[in-house]
Amino acid sequence: MMPQVCARCDKTTSTPVVVAIEHGASLGGRTLYACPGCAPTFPKQRDPFEQCLPDRPSRKTAS
Ligand SMILES: [Zn+2]
């Protein structure tokens, strides 16, 4: 496998881990790599909890 630059720490790694694959018709697709140390810090693709977890309350607290 070709060495890739980690998308997190910008260091070249000889054992890149694919952390994201973006499919874009106009962009032609893009693959993000990370070194093994940084890979766990990336969110998984198609995370089933992504849309379930409340990010922030949409209602503001009245002050
Ligand atoms: Zn890294």
Burial of 6: CB neighbours in 10 Å, binned 0-12, 13-18, 19+: buried
Bridge partners, 4 (sequence order): 13
Domain for residue 27, yes or no? yes
Tell me which residue range forms the domain holding 33. 4-41
pLDDT, tens only, 3-54 = 999 999 999 999 999 998 877 767 677 889 999 999 999 887 655 555 555 5
**Is residue 61 included in any domain, yes or no?**
no
The answer to whether residue 30 is domain-embedded is yes
Residue 35 lies in a domain: yes
Ligand 1 centroid, distance to 10 Cα (angstroms): 6
Ligand 1: centre distance to CA 29 (Å): 21
Q: pTM value?
A: 0.59
Any domain includes 32: yes
Query: 15 C-alpha to center of ligand 1: Å?
Result: 10
Domain count, the chain: 1
